[in-house]
Structures are given as C-alpha cells and as structure tokens.
Structure 1
Amino acid sequence: MKDVIVLRDLEQIKAISHPYRVEILESFKEEPLCAKQLAEILGEPHAKINYHIKTLLSAGILELVEEKIKSGIIEKYYLPVARMIVIDKSILNSSNDNIVQTLNQASISLFEKISDDFYRAAENNEIRSKHLRHYNEFYLTEDEAKEIMDILNEKLYEILENKNRKDKEGVRPYNIALIAVPDVRKEKNISKKSSK
C-alpha cells in the first residue's frame, strides 16, 4: 500500500464522493478485508458492500490483493491503494461545472462522515471543549483562507511525522477536520445593506 494516491481523474473523484465509500475506505487498517468482513464491520448487507467495492475497484482506489477458497466459495480480499487520498490541485482549481459539482459532492460526503463521527463521539460523551474550536466572522481573501489551512495542515503533519505514535502512552485515534467555509448568509446580508 502506498502512502498517498493523487486523484487526477473525474471518475476517481466521483467514486469517493459517496459517504458510504468513504466509510468503506476508513474501515481498512493494514490488513486486507473481504466484502463479508466489511459488511460485518459496517453492519450492512453484503450486496451493498459489493456494489461499492466494484465502484472503488474500477476507479483504481481499491485493489484486489488476494483470493482464498473457503467452503468452495472464492473470497476476494481488498486493500486501498494508498493510506491517504489527495485530489490534484489542478482539478481543485477547475472552473468546469461538472468538475466543480463533483468536488462539491465529494466535500459534502466528507462533511457527512465528519458529522457522523462527531455525533457518535457526542453520544458517548467524548466531546470536550478543548477538542472543539469555532472561529467565525473573519474577513479573509480566498488566498488568506487557503494559507491558514496550509499552515494548519503543515503543523499537523509535523506532529504526526513520528511513525511509532501508536505505541506512545495515552495515544488514541482522532479524526481532525480543518474547514474554512464562506459565510454566504452574512455575505448576502452585507450585499443587501450596501445596495440600499
């Protein structure tokens, strides 16, 4: 398994723009899994898992790594082709409506996954104020917002560079989301006031 795959193809981005496929990809650790195991992990029907596996396979995001015969049935074992999926910057800057719509759908899927993780943690009393930050009404250019995201991303990877982090005492898995979202509602209110 590679460390990173860079998606440069619209079909690949469409393949990850479904929240359920993100869930499937996040179910993998280091060991290959078959559709039956994924169905058990996610509590979903085997047929549903197979459908999404086929989509991820054809997009080159998931790969078949082994086949085993159990009780006369061939079980196929899969792994993601990389630990991390990144969308190519040239695609992110596209003005093509079809690409923009697909990127928006991928972003919504990711946000839905983050929301599910958040609600699950909240239901288990695992949300602490020290883990949650919300900054609002900052007036930034697009470039400034991107610069902030890049700096935070760089700092996160600087902390995570140590490959043996799982062995460190007190370490537990966290999902960290960095989101810079334009406040369209306030922007519309400002436009209304300035046009009067």
Structure 2
Amino acid sequence: MKDIQLLTTHEQLKTLSDPFRSQVLLRLMEKPMTGQQLSEVFDLSRARIHYHLKELEKNNLVQIVKREEKNGIIQKFYQSVALGFVADRDLLPHPEEMSESVRQMMINMLERSQKRVLSASEEALHDEIGSQDPSEWKYLSGAFEFKATEDDFKAWLKKYFALMEELSEIQKQNPTQDAKLYYFHSLGIQVDEPLFDRQKPEEEES
C-alpha cells in the first residue's frame, strides 16, 4: 500500500464523492477485508457491497491483496491502494467533485476517530499528573485557530509530516517492550468564519 496515490480521472473523484464508498475505502485503509466482512460491518447485502467494491476496484482505488479458500469458496480480500489520495492538477476543472471527495473523506475520518476515542481504555485517558504543561499529558487533544499565509502553512506542514515520520521510526529502529500503540488524526483546513472569540478579562485590559 502506498502512502499517497494521485487521482488522475474525473471518475475517481466522483467515486470518492459518494459518502458510502468513502466509508468503505476508509475501512480498507485500516486492513484488508472481504465483501462478506464488509456486509457484516455495514449490515448490507453482499451483492450491494460487491457492487461498490467493483466500482472502487475499477477506478484503481482498491485492490485484491490475497485470496483464501473457505468451505470451497474463494474469498477475496480487498485493501485500499493508498493511505491517502491527492487530486492531480489536471482535475482542477472539476472543483466541485474535488472538494466533495475531500469533504467526504474528512467526515468519515472524523467518524472513525470518534469511535477510536469512545473505545479508548481508561488508562489512555486518565491523567495522573494534572499538569498544565501539554508535554506531560498522556494524550493529544486540542483545537487551534490562527492566521497564516498559504506558503507558511505549507512550510509548517512539511515539518509536521517530518516530525510524525521521526516518531514512527523510533520503534522501527530500536524496538522496546514498553512501547504503546498511538492513534493520530489531524485536521487543518482554511475556514471563512472564526470559531473562537477569545477576549481578555477586564482587569487585564485596564
């Protein structure tokens, strides 16, 4: 599975713009699954699941990664071809489909993240230190809003991904017994209206 796959056709954008297909694709980013397994997850008929899988496969968004025989039936395991998708510049004449495909993927990722938080253990969320210093917390949780130029944002984004790669490589190079599994989901988008209205207390203003 690639880290990033380039979307090169209008049909790929339309496929990702479908809310249900983007949900299926997100599941298949996590692990390979069969049509039967997906039908149980979404409580839908195998015929309907296979229809959507064929559309995703036809547009090179998922692929069969293995086959297993069970009770004389060959089971096909599908997986997303990448962990993320980026639209090619040639697709810019279709901004609505491009925006909608990104929007649907973000919405579904938020839903998956919500489920991960709800299923997190008490240990993962219990902060024994009670510190106001975020560097001492056992988890990452925050919302930020500030102004930046597009160039500044892109430069920071490059550093951010480099930092995430640095963290992921530590255990790959020097594995230890006390390592824990962490789940990250980040979201940063341009918005039109501010969400936060932070005002100083009256005593500070005077």
CA contact (8 A) 2:33 2:78 kept: yes
Q: What is the aligned-residue identity percentage?
A: 23
1:143 & 1:120 partners in 2: Cα distance? 34
> Paired residue for 1:107?
102
Query: Which amino acid in 1 is paired with 2:54?
Result: K
- List gaps (5 residues or longer) in structure 1: 187-196
| Aligned residues: CA RMSD | 3.4
CA contact (8 A) 1:13 1:102 kept: yes
What SS does the corresponding residue of 1:33 show, helix, strand or coil? coil
2:193 counterpart of 1:185? yes
1:114 & 1:107 partners in 2: Cα distance? 11
2:108 & 2:167 partners in 1: Cα distance? 24
CA contact (8 A) 1:32 1:78 kept: yes
Within the candidate set 137, 144, 157, 1:149 is matched to: 157
Shift of 1:134: 1.4
Shift of 1:74: 5.1
Alignment deviations for residues 7-40 of structure 1 (CA, whole Å, 9 cap, x no partner): 2222223322334333323434797532002222
CA contact (8 A) 1:28 1:80 kept: yes
Alignment deviations for residues 66-101 of structure 1 (CA, whole Å, 9 cap, x no partner): 55665565543323334x233155358x3x2xx211
Shift of 1:57: 0.7
Measured at CA, do residues 45 and 175 of structure 1 come closer, stay the same or move farther in structure 2, by a change above 3 Å?
farther
CA contact (8 A) 1:32 1:79 kept: yes
- List gaps (5 residues or longer) in structure 2: 126-136, 195-206
Measured at CA, do residues 145 and 32 of structure 1 come closer, stay the same or move farther in structure 2, by a change above 3 Å?
closer
Alignment deviations for residues 38-64 of structure 1 (CA, whole Å, 9 cap, x no partner): 222444432332122011111011123
CA contact (8 A) 2:26 2:108 kept: no
